[in-house]
Amino acid sequence: MDYVAIYKKVWSFTKFPVYNGLIYHYTSLQGLLGILDNGEFWATKISFLNDKAESFLAYEIAKKQVIRNIEVTIQKSAIPLRY
């Protein structure tokens, strides 16, 4: 089975916004000063976050999009039935 072809077909229906070079991040003023002073931006493993709802919401949004893309792929590749 050609998984790359399936992947491309499923995700071809997704319209991602054009990346404008910006990364948005919310933090405290102290956190911002630390980023600027040290010239570093650290990421935290999602399981260590205080607000686990964010990761759950992101997962649910991604899951719905994948399911929608699979359904569209199946519909577009289905053989029309004629009686």
Rg (CA), the chain: 20
Residue 31's CB is within 10 A of a number of other CB atoms, namely: 13
What was the pLDDT predicted at 58? Answer: 77
d(CA 73, CA 10): 6
- Rounded CA separation 66/72 (Å): 10
Encoded amino acid at 17, one letter: P
Residue ranges of the domains in the chain? 3-77
> Is the dihedral angle over the CA atoms 53, 59, 64, 65 positive or is it negative?
positive
Give pLDDT, residue 46.
73
pLDDT digit string (tens) for 17-72?
777 877 777 788 998 898 889 988 877 777 777 777 777 787 888 888 888 888 88
Q: HSE of 23 in the Cβ direction (CA atoms, 13 Å)?
A: 4
pTM above 0.95, yes or no: no
